[in-house]
Structure 1
Amino acid sequence: MSELKTRWDIFCTVVDNYGDIGVTWRLARQLVAEHSLAVRLWVDDLRAFERMCPEIDVHVAQQWQQGVEVRRWPAEWLPTEAADVVIAAFACQLPATYMEAMAERKQPPLWMNLDYLSAEDWVMGCHGLPSVKYKHVQKYFFFPGFQKGTGGLLRESGLLERRRQFQQDPQAQRTFLQGLGVDRAPDAQLISLFAYENAGLASWLDALASDSMSTHVLVPEGRVLGDVERWLGVNDLQAGALHVREAVTVQVLPFVRQDQYDQLLWCCDFNAVRGEDSFVRAQWAGRPLLWHIYQQEEDVHLDKLEAFLALYVKGLSAPASEAISGLWRAWNAGAKMTDHWHSTRKHWPELEKHAETWCLEQALQADLATALVQFYGNWI
């Protein structure tokens, strides 16, 4: 079957505001742009999607955005012909009538569960294996990951070259930041902060405020703003707000498109990110980072954190490894950050070099969209 005629359906239920739709929107666009596929993206919450793609009309059930057919996932499902490839993102449950439509096809579709990103060892053993069946339609596990034997990471063609050119062009960076209302002082380190609520933030901001180095913290609108407000002693922070305390400047940014967020990460010296989508994009930025992992019951998320750290710190000296690992663990425990931040700063040149090395190593793997297309090609 020709790729040009292949129809793909991607189903997304919005659980964590932006993470789920962030991943599936990137994937859908790349499948269209780079693999010439016909893609329908089914989303149950178009308002969350609108923050990422302002052109979305939340009142329209069917529309096209950047070559992707965007469909509202209705509460009452109407009869719809099943696609050649069906992706249930993050184990979302497909509509019963759509599953019947899959079973009624003369040629059953390839049905995949695109799972959450994890560096745990068991992922390699499960990736690509058959899962449950619905009648005669077989579902398969598909795991993104950081090692061979997984589905890789989302990475558009030419991304790292565009990033390299941007990071080598100070004027392009200044122009971009000025477009967001950011006036960066020449001697200030730039930090982006995108996180869930975190009790450890106040101690980190205290450390930045009392530092000999100036720091400009850029905070995209999101859940961590409440903690920022408490530290500043203000209420109702909005995009554009700017506050200075000693050596630290805190500025709130509007929620931006994905490509603009990439450029924000490329501009910054250090990126604090959360969840899955921004976590991967920060790795492609080639800069030191801090991950706030999505909290799960019984702290199972901490196993995922440790699994990633075990991979990430390979190649670092023992002191640098201990410093960055300590910082990540403290952040994810909501613990005091001061000493861990100071330790991390001591190893800054090594951590900067390592972040770029890690990025280039990950880029040696096939990207997630290509891996999915290859899996389908092998399946048929």
Structure 2
Amino acid sequence: MKPSWDIFCCVVDNYGDIGVTWRLARQLVAEQDVAVRLWVDDLNAFVRLCPGADASAAQQWQAGVQVCQWPTEWQPTAVADVVIGAFACQLPAGYVEAMCARATPALWLNLDYLSAEDWVEGCHGLPSPQPNGLRKVFFFPGFTEKTGGLLREANLLERRHAFEQDPAARQAFLDGLGVQPQAGARLISLFAYENPGLASWLGALAADSRPNHLLVPEGRVLGDVGTWLGEAGLSAGSCAQRGALTVQILPFVSQDDYDRLLWSCEFNAVRGEDSFVRAQWAGRPLLWHIYIQEEYAHWEKLEAFLDLYVVGLSAGAKLAMVDLWRAWNMDRDMGQAWTQVLAHWPELSLHAERWCATQAAQPDLATALVQFYRSWNGH
């Protein structure tokens, strides 16, 4: 019998929660020979990432994963061998009661948010005894060997390299999106939350001596893009030019196509967690729009990652990267920061590839989870 895994996903905001859990569920089934049920409380968000899915189905099979609607009224169901509550979501009370009654204890994991903060290493793998006698274990993704690693399919980098070495494949992908950049244009992707600093960056791109082609998948940043362009109601297919900058709005694409979009660009602005990790696997210079938290707690997470990421850069390149990220996340002017980045572009591009290779040398998150279960289970 294959080990059974239940993953619970509560879609709190945007697509980060479902993006991570859907990617994890698919990889566990494809590479680790386990049976996975993914419980989702908002299938509409799931359908955006998996266009072939049915938002009204109580249960369905997608990519070998049993995707279940998380019902308002929980019905009795068998408890899995491994139970993952993603991002501290509360499991159904009836399911927890069934866990207490299970003859063989299930491994209960709280898959936490990604962070580079120092304390993560100390908390990764720690058990948390519950009042009902169960034990929940904290499992942290991360960037060091003392964490759970990052989501990365076994053949991801091989697929990326094959795509990069096949100009016809890249052209066909861009053609499918209706993207036809002019010769020599710098292709940039933008996936972000609302950001007052966007206007200063777009202004710098428009004033550049090299043409820039900005690809913006549908999302929350469209309002700011439209304000800068002076055009309301932007949607997929919209395209406008200001100076050296062409802005093109793309449809919201599947996860696999989003990977190809990142691979097709020279620079990627991303947000949240899932796209942030995928941009690192793309091996390109990137800009992270971190999810805003109360009392600016997100700034500490931003700085913690930067401390790791800039190791090995020259002083000038390090300053350029730090200034750009701070400007983007702290509502500062982006123009001068972007100019500094352009001055160090070759070094930053090589560094992005080195960072990707360093992270790829560590076990990926899905493998780490399975190894943890086997160790816990005595195998």
TM-score (norm 2): 0.99
For the residues of structure 2 that align with 1:121 and 1:307, how far apart are their CA atoms? 8
Contact 1:120-1:307 at 8 Å conserved across structures? yes
State the Cα deviation string for residues 334-363 of structure 1 (Å, max 9, x = none): 211000000010000000000000000000
For the residues of structure 2 that align with 1:171 and 1:75, how far apart are their CA atoms? 48
Picking from 267, 275, 280, the partner of 2:277 is 280
In the other structure, the counterpart of 1:202 is 199
Aligned residue type for 2:99 = M
For the residues of structure 1 that align with 2:56 and 2:131, how far apart are their CA atoms? 33
1:328-347 alignment, distance < 5 Å: 328-347=325-344
State the Cα deviation string for residues 65-94 of structure 1 (Å, max 9, x = none): 110000001111111111100000000000
In the other structure, the counterpart of 2:48 is 51
In the other structure, the counterpart of 1:229 is 226
Aligned residue type for 1:80 = T
In the other structure, the counterpart of 1:249 is 246
State the Cα deviation string for residues 97-137 of structure 1 (Å, max 9, x = none): 10001011000100000000000011000100102325232
In the other structure, the counterpart of 1:310 is 307
Deviation at 1:15, TM superposition (A): 1.1
For the residues of structure 1 that align with 2:131 and 2:225, how far apart are their CA atoms? 48
SS of the residue 1:123 aligns to: helix
Aligned residue type for 1:153 = L
For the residues of structure 2 that align with 1:245 and 1:149, how far apart are their CA atoms? 47
For the residues of structure 1 that align with 2:5 and 2:100, how far apart are their CA atoms? 16
In the other structure, the counterpart of 2:85 is 88
Picking from 8, 33, 42, the partner of 1:36 is 33
Please list every run of at least 4 consecutive aligned residues from structure 1 whose deviation after the TM superposition is greater than 3 angstroms. none
Deviation at 1:186, TM superposition (A): 2.3
For the residues of structure 2 that align with 1:335 and 1:11, how far apart are their CA atoms? 38
Listed as ranges, the gaps of 5+ residues in structure 1 are: none
In the other structure, the counterpart of 2:153 is 156
Aligned residue type for 2:141 = P
Question: Is 1:135–2:132 an aligned residue pair?
Answer: yes
Picking from 91, 102, 105, the partner of 2:102 is 105
Aligned residue type for 1:143 = F
For the residues of structure 1 that align with 2:248 and 2:107, how far apart are their CA atoms? 46
Aligned residue type for 1:359 = C
In the other structure, the counterpart of 1:126 is 123
In the other structure, the counterpart of 1:324 is 321
Deviation at 1:244, TM superposition (A): 0.6
Aligned residue type for 1:166 = F
In the other structure, the counterpart of 1:175 is 172
In the other structure, the counterpart of 1:349 is 346
In the other structure, the counterpart of 1:165 is 162
Greater shift in the superposed pair: 88-97 or 74-83: 74-83
Picking from 189, 211, 218, the partner of 2:208 is 211
User: Could you say if the C-alpha distance between residues 134 and 49 of structure 1 is closer, same or farther in structure 2, counting changes exceeding 3 Å?
Assistant: farther
1:355-366 alignment, distance < 5 Å: 355-366=352-363
Contact 1:99-1:134 at 8 Å conserved across structures? no
Aligned residue type for 1:288 = P
Picking from 351, 358, 365, the partner of 1:368 is 365
In the other structure, the counterpart of 1:259 is 256
Greater shift in the superposed pair: 166-175 or 330-339: 166-175
TM-score (norm 1): 0.98
Root mean square deviation, CA, Å: 0.7
SS of the residue 2:39 aligns to: strand
For the residues of structure 2 that align with 1:365 and 1:167, how far apart are their CA atoms? 23
In the other structure, the counterpart of 1:8 is 5
For the residues of structure 1 that align with 2:74 and 2:255, how far apart are their CA atoms? 30
Aligned residue type for 1:172 = A
State the Cα deviation string for residues 267-314 of structure 1 (Å, max 9, x = none): 000000000000000000000000000000011011000000000000
In the other structure, the counterpart of 2:290 is 293
The size of the alignment, in residue pairs, is 377
Aligned residue type for 2:343 = K
Greater shift in the superposed pair: 270-279 or 167-176: 167-176
Deviation at 1:219, TM superposition (A): 0.1
Greater shift in the superposed pair: 47-56 or 290-299: 47-56
Listed as ranges, the gaps of 5+ residues in structure 2 are: none
For the residues of structure 2 that align with 1:351 and 1:20, how far apart are their CA atoms? 30
For the residues of structure 2 that align with 1:346 and 1:25, how far apart are their CA atoms? 39
State the Cα deviation string for residues 119-158 of structure 1 (Å, max 9, x = none): 0011000100102325232100000000011000000011
Contact 1:109-1:137 at 8 Å conserved across structures? no
State the Cα deviation string for residues 177-222 of structure 1 (Å, max 9, x = none): 0000001222000000000000000000000001101000000000
Deviation at 1:165, TM superposition (A): 1.4
For the residues of structure 2 that align with 1:207 and 1:134, how far apart are their CA atoms? 56
